[in-house]
Structure 1
Amino acid sequence: MKSFPDNYDDNRVHRGGPRTSTVSQRRIVAAAVAGNLLEFYDFTVYSFFALTIAKLFFPATDPVVSTLLALSAFAIGFVARPVGGFVLGHYADRRGRRAALTLTIALMALGSAIIGLTPTYATIGLAAPVIIIGARLLQGFAQGGEFGAATATLLETGAAGSRGFRASWQLASQGAAALMGSGLAAILTYRLSSEALLDWGWRVPFLIGTLIMPVGIYLRRHLAEEPAREASGARSTLEPALVKKWFLTVFAIMGMTVATYVMMYYIPTYAIQYLHLPRKTTVLVATAAPLISLLMCPLWGALSDRMKARKPLTIFGRTALIVLLYPSFWLMNHFPSAGVVTALIVLLMFFYTMGSAPAYALMPENFPKHVRAGYLASAYAVAVSLFGGTAQLVVAWLIRVTGNTMAPAWYMIVCVMVSLVAVSMLEETGRRSLD
């Protein structure tokens, strides 16, 4: 794996980059991905304990309806993401990346703490689900601005020849966060009784997640701060060419965010409810997808730097994913075992990461620096809100109304096909300098 130099002067590498000669790239990567780590750690924990949260906060006579309500609370946090993307993305472009990144991680940690401390429906009644929904909205607002500022920081800070590698850590950090969340959930599941887990054990991961905040803020204090930009810039932020790229970016993200939330977060629930695997055996399934994401994303990002082209890997990976989705879910349903499901998820994630990691540099490289964080944050927030955050709810609903457990495969195929067309229409940027 490519290593970071301990010190460098970014102004020697590419025009327009902030001076960061006293800060290592390792620290910059860690600072940039800390918020993303907290975000996806929280997603993993919520998804792993979705059935528990459904029982405690969204009780219903039909357990499937209860699960749908819990997933709706998960999805509702994404309603606030576009607002956060526009507001905080613009804030990052005007006031600097560091200020925005510090604010977003603090808000996300607050939301996680609220979820971990809220009394159940049996204790305070309707106020319990209302508080959970409020916490998800707060997290959604913060998460909407996190991605744009963090990805812009990774792209702009460091050598031009390793932009793809650095940007890929946004996706790799999702895998690391999911491993942390699923690992802690697995320990609690195995070590605690069912009664203790239901009573207090499920709260522990949410409260532990808040510890990422002080570490993230400490790291982000060492990022080089940029001077604030005046709001009346000479260059328009609504140029038709940029607006077109914004729409392409939304749809380029669409298929991959759906695949992320289904394969990385919904699969444990799917394996329990429809493949009838024991809860404890789904731990293996839950760790397979994030492990492949963590291992493969930096490799694909580095390879795109060596190729000096982002699109070939992206297009090939997404095409292969489309081809493999239906037969993989068919095999899961006809040969339901932890080993079979895990092996198929590993195969799908191999091509998912190939189609996604290089795009994490390709998409922001399509926007100029003075509006990069705003355009990227808002596009990502809209795509994830409309498609990613609702993916678990949509596939669960599709299975219920159609009675077909292959519904997740069909939904992902359609979304990834749209995404493939969109990413193929973006400009190739691997050889381009940032402006």
Structure 2
Amino acid sequence: METNIVSSSTTTLLAAQTTRSKAAAVLRVTSGNFLEQFDFFLFGFYATYISKVFFPTGSEFASLMLTFAVFGAGFLMRPLGAIVLGAYIDEVGRRKGLIVTLSLMASGTILIACVPGYETIGLLAPALVLIGRLLQGFSAGAELGGVSVYLSEMATPGRKGFYTSWQSASQQVAIIVAALLGYALNAWMPTDTLHAWGWRIPFFIGCLIVPFLFLLRRSLQETEAFAARKHHPSAREVFRSMLANWTTVIAGMLLTAMTTTTFYLITVYTPTFGKTVLKLSTADSLIVTLCVGIGNFVWLPIGGAVSDRIGRKPLLLLITVLAILTAYPALSWLAAAPSFGRMFIVLMWFSFFFGAYNGAMVAALTEVMPVEVRVAGFSLAFSLATALFGGFTPAVSTFLIQSLHDKAAPGYWLSFAAVCGLIATLILYRKGGAAQRLQDAA
């Protein structure tokens, strides 16, 4: 009897230790995600200030378009980073590769934070900001893939959706922190000071946390799945395998289009949309953005856990259909009578789209990629979607509103991305498809 009690206690203790160990690993591996998205969000949050400091043209529309173009240029570097750094991570291991991506991300952050304005150094100012964004984009190309694959490989059986959802959940913490900082600065600092240099404060804070993030990531352990593999492909082998699986990569890109478009619409673009299009106060826009970050954080693990229970396909299909049917009508309702309350309701509805869909999508994307090129394949698919859809969402939304004279026009863009996600889901989960075979095996 005593032996059974001791045995039971030991088992419980070991289970608790394993849970704590996995939770610590999740924190370490997602820490770099926090920095990456923190900086990306800041660039979008302070787009109106950045446009006047680095891209003064005399036209608010032109300055914003230039700023969002530079913001989007960082996303064009993601596919290159996905191929080069993704192949590197597949060859040398998840731990070493993720330290490299964090180093590059930190370099871009420090550069953007410290560059003087156009009035001080002329054309060199926007050029250096562009270089900083390109460094961030190159790093981010493999960061998301590396983190997602690491979480997938360390997940307990049957819980991949829940574990991989924390990759995106860490980004929501970055949104919350950035929005809180923005709200505090807007409340405590005079507008002229905020325009002149106050907007740089959050970027400097991002620089200050870099050493702490390095300490966290250096303590990462390599995943057992990678360590157990006898053959680690060279970069050339990774490239060859990706070419052989190009249809899966393209389908993965379309699957991710819904996620990236929704994400950048409800986070990075929200402060600009609320202030310049809906004519709401900066404080209102930042509070809504903060609530969106909290909503995303709640829905992501729920979406992942639900997809573990019912399968990825049903959840992906449900959310894409809902987005197609309601994206434009919801934004039309908001634009008809802009208010804090309406903006909150619409963006929280979109937050549900993002969290539930992405919770299932990330796990699905790690599952469909061949194991030998899992990081490179995931990263390339995600990066292409971000470059072609998500990253340019602020610029596309601004252009559509200006061209169509319709404040709800971003709804067309979101609906199009949802159609892409619907088609990709049907392709990947068709009978005999890679994703369907995985689901059937589970």
TM-score by length of 2: 0.89
1:274 aligns with 2:271: no
1:223 offset after TM fit, Å? 2.2
* Structure 1 unmatched runs, 5+: 9-20
Q: Quick check: 2:87–2:239 contact (8 Å CA) kept in 1?
A: no
1:107 aligns with 2:101: no
CA distance in 1, matches of 2:322, 2:92: 41
Q: Which residue of 2 aligns with 1:247?
A: 250
1:34 offset after TM fit, Å? 1.5
> What amino acid is aligned across from residue 277 of structure 1 in structure 2?
L
Distance change >3 Å, CA 233–CA 42, structure 1 → 2: closer
CA distance in 2, matches of 1:59, 1:273: 17
Superposed CA RMSD in Å reads 2.1
CA distance in 1, matches of 2:289, 2:85: 32
Distance change >3 Å, CA 432–CA 164, structure 1 → 2: farther
> What amino acid is aligned across from residue 345 of structure 2 in structure 1?
A
> What amino acid is aligned across from residue 255 of structure 2 in structure 1?
A
Q: Quick check: 2:87–2:238 contact (8 Å CA) kept in 1?
A: no
Deviations 1:316-352 (A, max 9, x none): 1121122111121011111211111111111221133
Q: Which residue of 2 aligns with 1:237?
A: 241
* Structure 1 runs of 4+ with >4 Å offset: 232-236, 430-433
1:176 offset after TM fit, Å? 1.3
Distance change >3 Å, CA 192–CA 93, structure 1 → 2: same
Q: Which residue of 1 aligns with 2:417?
A: 415
Please give the secondary structure, in 2, of the residue aligned with 1:101.
helix
Q: Which of 152, 173, 187 is the aligned partner of 2:170? A: 173
Q: Quick check: 1:94–1:229 contact (8 Å CA) kept in 2?
A: yes
Deviations 1:71-100 (A, max 9, x none): 111111112111100000000100000111
Q: Which residue of 2 aligns with 1:293?
A: 296
Distance change >3 Å, CA 93–CA 38, structure 1 → 2: same
Q: Which residue of 1 aligns with 2:431?
A: none
CA distance in 2, matches of 1:431, 1:30: 32
Q: Which residue of 1 aligns with 2:353?
A: 351
CA distance in 2, matches of 1:52, 1:206: 13
Q: Quick check: 2:267–2:289 contact (8 Å CA) kept in 1?
A: yes
> What amino acid is aligned across from residue 416 of structure 1 in structure 2?
A
* Structure 2 unmatched runs, 5+: 1-13, 429-434
Q: Quick check: 1:301–1:357 contact (8 Å CA) kept in 2?
A: yes
CA distance in 2, matches of 1:101, 1:28: 13
Distance change >3 Å, CA 369–CA 7, structure 1 → 2: farther
Q: Quick check: 2:297–2:355 contact (8 Å CA) kept in 1?
A: no
Deviations 1:136-165 (A, max 9, x none): 001111011111111110000131221110
Give the stretch that moved more between structures: 206-215 or 41-50. 206-215
Q: Which residue of 2 aligns with 1:305?
A: 308
Q: Quick check: 1:84–1:140 contact (8 Å CA) kept in 2?
A: yes
Distance change >3 Å, CA 6–CA 432, structure 1 → 2: farther
CA distance in 2, matches of 1:105, 1:25: 21
Q: Quick check: 1:305–1:430 contact (8 Å CA) kept in 2?
A: no
Q: What pairs up with 1:3-402 in 2 under 5 angstroms?
A: 6-8=16-18, 24-225=21-222, 229-231=232-234, 237-238=241-242, 240=244, 242-307=245-310, 309-402=311-404
Please give the secondary structure, in 2, of the residue aligned with 1:161.
coil
Q: Quick check: 2:183–2:287 contact (8 Å CA) kept in 1?
A: no
CA distance in 1, matches of 2:15, 2:332: 46
CA distance in 2, matches of 1:430, 1:182: 38
Deviations 1:195-238 (A, max 9, x none): 22122211111111123432332222222235582528699624
CA distance in 2, matches of 1:431, 1:177: 36
